[in-house]
Structure 1
Amino acid sequence: MPTGERIIKANGVELCAESFGDPADPALLLIHGAGHSMLAWDAEFAGRLAAGGLRVIRYDGRDAGRSTASPPGAPAYGLADLVADAAALLDALGIPAAHVLGMSQGAAVAQLLALDHPDRVASLTLASATPGGPGHHHPDLPETTPELADLLAGGPAEPDWSDRDAAADYLVEAERPFAARSRPFDRAGMRAAAGRVVDRAADIAAQLTNPFMIDAGEPWRGRLGRITAPTLVLHGTEDPLFPPGHGRALAAEIPGARFVPLDGTGHEVFPRHCWDAVVPAILRHTRP
């Protein structure tokens, strides 16, 4: 069970964090993607990892959940700041090195954490990721699917952010195009989850806009061969944003990395149907 949320001062901002499991166990830091909050990591999923012998830590990045937020449309940070935040959070929690799991933009943060702070990363797990950062174009890798590209070009109209139901509906429709097409879209379950996300967000408008506007910095794909942390790459076989070729290329460019495809999964934070594959894979990867 979670030990409760805490507001932690790190790198000049306030980050809301929550941990699961025995504090004496090896730490696993979960870094969510753009537009998400710590709730993207299901508490039951975190609990399964904790039951396997890990101290699991999920947290709200900047603009997410209950952490420090910038005015909507004006993020006062870049991707490098999110990397520094993760390292500072480990400092504040007294953790010299942690296993790190990042999804999408969180995987970009995790890659840079492993490159720029190698002593802080005991192992690396990258999900729904591309070599380097989102926003860096790689002409040798598969393009976003035409259907998703068309939707992203238009996108759902922004709601009245002060209207709780409208904001939750917007979040559901924003997530729908990223889900696997081979499974029915669980709108009811997604809507219930979206309501919880909106209810605990300090500024839901900032959460759903600012992370997509930040500067990713200089491309680092050419540095991936310097990553020394043992690396596991998990990638949905139906990812429409970063088709599987991105994950395979990422694994090929990190020495010793292992690629594991997730059937029936899109650009999603581990749907429940793949937990029985994902949880054992992470536990095996994080054991000495």
Structure 2
Amino acid sequence: MPINGIQVCVETFGEPVDSPMLLMAGDASSMDWWDDEFCRRLAAGRRFVIRYDHRDTGRSTSYPAGAPAYSGTDLMYDALGVLDALRVPAAHLVGFSLGGALAQRIAVHHPSRVLSLTLISTGVDGGASANTPVTVGGPVTVSAGTVTAGVRTIEAPAATDETDWSNRKAAVARMIDEVRSCGGPFTPEEPHLRRFAERVFDRSADLAATRLNHRLAGYGPSVRDLLGGIDTPTVVLHGTLDRRIPAGHPEELARCIPKARLVWLDGVGHEFPPRAVWTQVLTEILDLAA
């Protein structure tokens, strides 16, 4: 559907008369990573569940690798645009990693649009380091120096990536390896991950652009000093084995948001909630959004 001058792919589960819930995926992640059955179970809890592809993911508008005509702030407004297009005045926001960072910004700058906040595998401002290297794919190479990303310029260290993201077999294998390296004992087995990765590849216009452009766009201006003004019921869900965003980040996030509660997911890494903890995660989300 047309949103903010681009096309955004949106899918819903459940009935529009139920309480709306917006699922916001992580960086370089399409909505596919929100498992279909996970979405159906949320909908069975009498929620109108909405998931969508960020720019440069899935079926949404794609940009040339290394030249995203958007910023992290635009990604935030895309989420609001999805709600506007569906005529949803406010929703329960569930954000993973980058999605959690965007949800924080919506809660700070547009509090009337937020019914509750579930922040998964994220931290203050997403928990990202300013020195996070830029990863590129296929033939794209970024030299050390500055890179213009939408409306801002960032420092980009030299980076290369030998994966040919236009090659289905190579791209799928790389995605599987990355999920398993970031996961834990409950991470799905290879056949399950392969089905996910193949679906992601088949729905993506340019995975090299997906991975580079989100890093360049960033999360948007910091909201660290504004989190204390959030008056929305909030739960912070974080894996005990998350090596990408260590424990100090969710702990700080829970301290900064007055009504936040930190819940640890034992044996979970930096990954979309694996099936083994669905009962815990679904209960936390639905109870918060009651």
Task: Indicate whether the TM-score tops 0.5.
Answer: yes
2:167 aligned residue (163, 182, 187): 163
1:170 deviates by: 1.8
Match for residue 140 of structure 2?
Answer: none
Higher mean displacement: 57-66 or 224-233: 224-233
1:183 deviates by: 4.6
2:59 is the alignment partner of 1:55:
no
Match for residue 141 of structure 2?
Answer: none
2 CA distance for matches of 1:160 and 1:217? 29
Match for residue 272 of structure 2?
Answer: 269
2:255 aligned residue (242, 252, 257): 252
1 CA distance for matches of 2:183 and 2:158? 18
1:185 deviates by: 6.2
1:202 aligned residue (200, 205, 230): 205
Contact 1:155 1:174 in 2 (8 A): no
1:176 aligned residue (170, 177, 180): 180
Contact 1:101 1:125 in 2 (8 A): yes
2:24 aligned residue (31, 37, 43): 31
- The two structures have a TM-score, normalised by structure 1, of 0.87
Contact 2:187 2:274 in 1 (8 A): no
| Letter in structure 1 aligned against 2:163 | P
SS of residue paired to 2:8: strand
Q: Deviations over 1:42-74 (max 9, x none)?
A: 000000000011000010000010001111122
1 CA distance for matches of 2:264 and 2:37? 22
1 CA distance for matches of 2:79 and 2:207? 22
1:106 aligned residue (94, 99, 110): 99
1:156 deviates by: 8.9
| Letter in structure 1 aligned against 2:215 | F
1:13 deviates by: 1.2
1:45 aligned residue (38, 43, 56): 38
2 CA distance for matches of 1:57 and 1:95? 10
Question: Cα 1:116–1:79, aligned 2, differ >3 Å: closer, same or farther?
Answer: same
2:126 is the alignment partner of 1:122:
no
Q: Deviations over 1:236-283 (max 9, x none)?
A: 011001112211211111011111100110000001110011111111
Contact 1:102 1:125 in 2 (8 A): yes
1:136 deviates by: 4.7
2 CA distance for matches of 1:260 and 1:45? 19
| Letter in structure 1 aligned against 2:37 | E
Structure 1: 5+ residue stretches without partners: 1-7, 144-152
Higher mean displacement: 9-18 or 186-195: 186-195
Contact 1:64 1:201 in 2 (8 A): yes
Match for residue 224 of structure 2?
Answer: 221
- The two structures have a TM-score, normalised by structure 2, of 0.86
1:97 aligned residue (90, 100, 116): 90
Match for residue 146 of structure 2?
Answer: none
Structure 2: 5+ residue stretches without partners: 133-156
2 CA distance for matches of 1:97 and 1:110? 12
SS of residue paired to 2:237: strand
1 CA distance for matches of 2:68 and 2:158? 22
2 CA distance for matches of 1:155 and 1:22? 45
Contact 2:120 2:238 in 1 (8 A): yes
Contact 1:156 1:173 in 2 (8 A): no
SS of residue paired to 1:197: helix
2:82 is the alignment partner of 1:69:
no
1:230 deviates by: 0.9
Contact 2:10 2:52 in 1 (8 A): yes
